[in-house]
Structure 1
Amino acid sequence: MSAPPPDPFDARQDLADAPRVGGRQRPKDAATLILTRAGPSGPEVLMGRRAPGHVFMASKWVFPGGRVDRADFAAASINELRGPEALRLHREVPARRARALALAAVRETFEETGLLLAEPAPTASVAGPWREFRAEGALPDLAALSYVARAITPPGRTRRFDARFFMADASALLHPEPTAGSGELDEIAWLPLADARNLDLPAITRFVLGEINERLSLVIPEGAERLSGTNRPLPFVRMVRGKHVVEHQD
């Protein structure tokens, strides 16, 4: 049975997800990590449900992620982004900021789910948001990341983000199952990709799930990396002159 086609971006749903409240604010850099693995009935994706009390996207199912922190600009890692992924990001932002985006995706995933996209390393005592990560005896594995999508929240919302979506295979995790994390997500689970698309999702999450489905459906030559869908154009969702626009960038 062939996989369903990717969902088009639902602009109407996007506006309903986060109604306009007025005001002007610049979008803040944010990063999200989509973890995938092979399940008994096909690909699975890690998702969490945001707690009901959140101002932004309450009770919606999302990928782990969040804002870039100042500490992400100086955090250590075991390796760096792979060449093609770094090149795509460097077209948008300086190298230091690109690296901070990738590190934020790894850090936020650990904070929200307890999962470490990392390799073992000596424990280190550091201050700030990387303290607990480094205390686990691990350093971020940036080479495991693929950059797969970008989206900017429409203006006038309670929160605005310029979000980059990264993807990684669960084989790069130090352990495969999530913990309770920070509590920002009140439920965390590995879900079959087909089932995940039936949940209460923000429009951008549903759209990116379709992109992930397309990438995982690519026929990968034997011996090649599963995440080598780098040649697939990168979708960029934003609002221009009051209308949603989806551009695909090489």
Structure 2
Amino acid sequence: MSASSPAQAQDKSAIRQAATVIVLRDAQSVDPKILMGQRGAQAAFMPNKFVFPGGAVDASDAEIPLATPLSAQTLRQLSDQSDPALAPALAVAAIRELWEETGLVLGHPGHWSVPPPADWQSFAEQGYLPTAGALQFVFRAITPPGRPRRFDARFFLLDASAIASDLDDFTAASDELSHLQWIPLSKVRQFDLPFITQVVLAEVSARLPDLTPPASVPFFKNDDEESLFLRLKGATAPEPTPE
């Protein structure tokens, strides 16, 4: 499934599908850490802000095979108020962006049966295939109208123990994020964070140290008509009992 049509690529106000990865390290400790980096001062979207690795879904992401798929619960929740066919591409985008922006590998050792596209070649050269089983869908938010870029972003929580590469080796990272670092949750609010990042952090922090996938996923639906705060449960989740 293509991330956007040529017309959308030229329309900076179009909402693009996107994936973001919250990598959590030492989740069971008294002070877990998360991986963040700083966007450039000249960036059109969230300049100078400290953010999680992530970005827009590319057209080729839908064609990348996953060595292990998303969990059934994650698939159901991603498909709630969304095209189910988009779910694998969102997972692929999350893994690709994590690799591009941090140099960390979420994958299993293996060889690609067909030559990978250009933006996956460096990942494949590490000797890994992308795996999505460890990605936990925890938040969704649409950028409000009026911003220079708009995204329909799915946030995935990832326990750092699932990373196949050295957690402290960022040498393969691109220059899109600077000052990559593991930030203790107790100190993260000292950094310049976007509002939505603060909201997501509060949601994740409230669940720790429990890493059980959430029964429902918060969704800030900021479309052109109204702003809503919803809960995504998936098709098989029970409806709430009326009060």
TM-score range normalised by the length of the shorter chain = 0.7 to 0.9
Q: Work out whether 1:201 is the aligned partner of 2:193.
A: yes
> Match of 1:214, SS?
helix
User: Structure 1 24/191 Cα, relative in aligned 2: closer, same or farther at 3 Å?
Assistant: closer
Q: Indicate conservation of the 8 Å contact 2:49/2:192, yes or no.
A: yes
| TM-fit CA distance, 1:239 | 2.5
| TM-fit CA distance, 1:244 | 4.0
CA RMSD after TM alignment: 2.0
Q: Indicate conservation of the 8 Å contact 1:85/1:230, yes or no.
A: no
Could you say which residue in structure 2 is the equivalent of 1:236? 219
**For 2:106, which of 105, 110, 117 is the aligned residue?**
117
What is the identity, as a one-letter code, of the residue corresponding to 2:189? R
What is the identity, as a one-letter code, of the residue corresponding to 2:229? V
User: Structure 1 184/24 Cα, relative in aligned 2: closer, same or farther at 3 Å?
Assistant: closer
CA distance in 1, matches of 2:43, 2:120: 24
CA distance in 1, matches of 2:229, 2:170: 35
Q: Indicate conservation of the 8 Å contact 1:148/1:234, yes or no.
A: yes
Identical-residue share of aligned pairs (%): 39
Could you say which residue in structure 2 is the equivalent of 1:177? 168
What is the identity, as a one-letter code, of the residue corresponding to 1:179? F
Q: Indicate conservation of the 8 Å contact 2:20/2:155, yes or no.
A: yes
Could you say which residue in structure 1 is the equivalent of 2:88? 99
Could you say which residue in structure 2 is the equivalent of 1:108? 97
> Match of 2:214, SS?
helix
CA distance in 1, matches of 2:112, 2:88: 22
Q: Work out whether 1:36 is the aligned partner of 2:24.
A: yes
CA distance in 1, matches of 2:95, 2:70: 12
Per-residue CA distance 1:60-79 (angstroms, 9 max, x = gap): 00000000001100102211
Where do 5+ consecutive residues of structure 1 fail to align? 1-22, 219-225
CA distance in 2, matches of 1:242, 1:193: 35
Q: Work out whether 1:56 is the aligned partner of 2:58.
A: no
| TM-fit CA distance, 1:215 | 2.4
Could you say which residue in structure 2 is the equivalent of 1:187? 179
Q: Number of matched residues? A: 219
| TM-fit CA distance, 1:243 | 5.8
Q: Work out whether 1:155 is the aligned partner of 2:145.
A: yes
| TM-fit CA distance, 1:93 | 2.8
CA distance in 2, matches of 1:246, 1:74: 32
Report the more deviating stretch, 89-98 or 144-153.
Answer: 89-98
Per-residue CA distance 1:35-74 (angstroms, 9 max, x = gap): 0011764211111111112111111000000000011001
CA distance in 2, matches of 1:157, 1:103: 26
Report the more deviating stretch, 64-73 or 37-46.
Answer: 37-46
Per-residue CA distance 1:142-176 (angstroms, 9 max, x = gap): 00000000000111221010000001101110122
TM-score, normalized by length of structure 1?
0.81
CA distance in 2, matches of 1:161, 1:97: 14
